[in-house]
Amino acid sequence: MTTPTAIPAAQPRKPRTRTTNVSCRPALLLSKLPLGLVDLTPRAEHLACPDCNTWCPLTTHKGTKDWKLVPHHTLPAGTPGARRCIGSNRLFVVDVPIAVWQVRRAEAVADVAARRPTTVLKKVKAPQPVALHQLAPAPATAETAHAAYIGHRSRCADCTDPKKRCADGQRLGSTYLQLLREEPERRAAQARTEQEQRHVERARVRQFPARRAGEWKAVDQAVGEADKARRAPLVGARSPIQGAAVPVGARPIGQRASTDEVLAASPLRKNHRQVADEPETLSA
């Protein structure tokens, strides 16, 4: 009875191989491959296998300087039931100078970047104001109703006669009378609302000292330590009273020296004075 063999698994792609096998398939030409499927970075040469569309390292054929694809599987490493790709050990020929190929690739990258659409940033729409006919009208009061009634009577020919009144005049008059009857109740409701707001503000003001005391209590220890460190004397420091002595008679800052001071400090004048004093010394 034969024992079943283990199912082979895909192996990692090695960057270098010692095998001397070469695929019988035609060699891959650099000029015929797409520019984006070849990476000729020194010591990291890779090529996308045209058969399995996977990136595989390029290695030099043993004993020659020819490039070829390393043996690889069609599935990721560790996958059971792997199958060797038919593009393994296939030769790769660099039929164009590397410098020319790099120039072509740079131009292709720039061309693709120019064709790629940029991200469209949508402009934020400004909020549209509400139309005038959509605005909520202000609540009518007895004063506004009375003004509307008087203005209508001054323009309407029927309402100028005390014995006559049109439908609009009757509507405006009845509205004014109704609001006039409701005016005391409306003012009382407004007074109650204002009184409640005052109570809330007063309660908030009464709670402020307690809340402020709680905030100070939370940071009291840190503030005390900071004050203690601030009052501690600095080692090696000199107080302003015991500072460096200021020379008496010094010229104030910003004041220019006088002509006599400049001439007295001049080296030429000092030399002349020494020469003038030498004969007196010799004669003595």
Domain membership of residue 159 (yes or no) is yes
pLDDT band per the 50, 70, 90 thresholds, residue 60? confident
Q: Of 61, 82, 115, which residue constitutes the final position of a domain?
A: 115
Instruction: Name the band, by pLDDT with cuts 50, 70 and 90, for residue 114.
Output: low
Residues 34 and 68 grouped into a single domain: yes
- Judge whether 21 lies within some domain: no
Does the residue 185 lie in any domain?
A: yes
Q: Is the pLDDT of residue 196 over 90?
A: yes
- Domain end among 80, 115, 150: 115
- Among 167, 186, 203, which residue terminates a domain? 203
**Rounded Cα–Cα distance for residues 274 and 284 (Å):** 16
The model's pLDDT over 9-48, given as tens digits with 9 standing for 90+, comes to 777 777 777 778 888 889 999 988 888 888 888 888 888 8
Grade residue 253 by pLDDT with cuts at 50, 70 and 90.
low
Residues 105 and 149 in one domain: no
The reply to whether 128 falls in a domain is: no
Tell whether 148 and 107 lie within a shared domain.
Answer: no
Asked if the model's pLDDT at residue 278 lies above 80, the reply is no
In this structure, are 38 and 79 located in the same domain?
yes
Residue 105 shares a structural domain with residue 146: no
Q: Is 160 found in the same domain as 96?
A: no
What is the domain count for the chain?
2
What is the per-residue pLDDT for 282? Answer: 42
Write out pLDDT tens, residues 75-110: 777 778 778 888 888 889 988 888 888 888 888 877
Residue 23 in domain: no
Domain that holds residue 173: 140-203
| pTM as predicted | 0.38
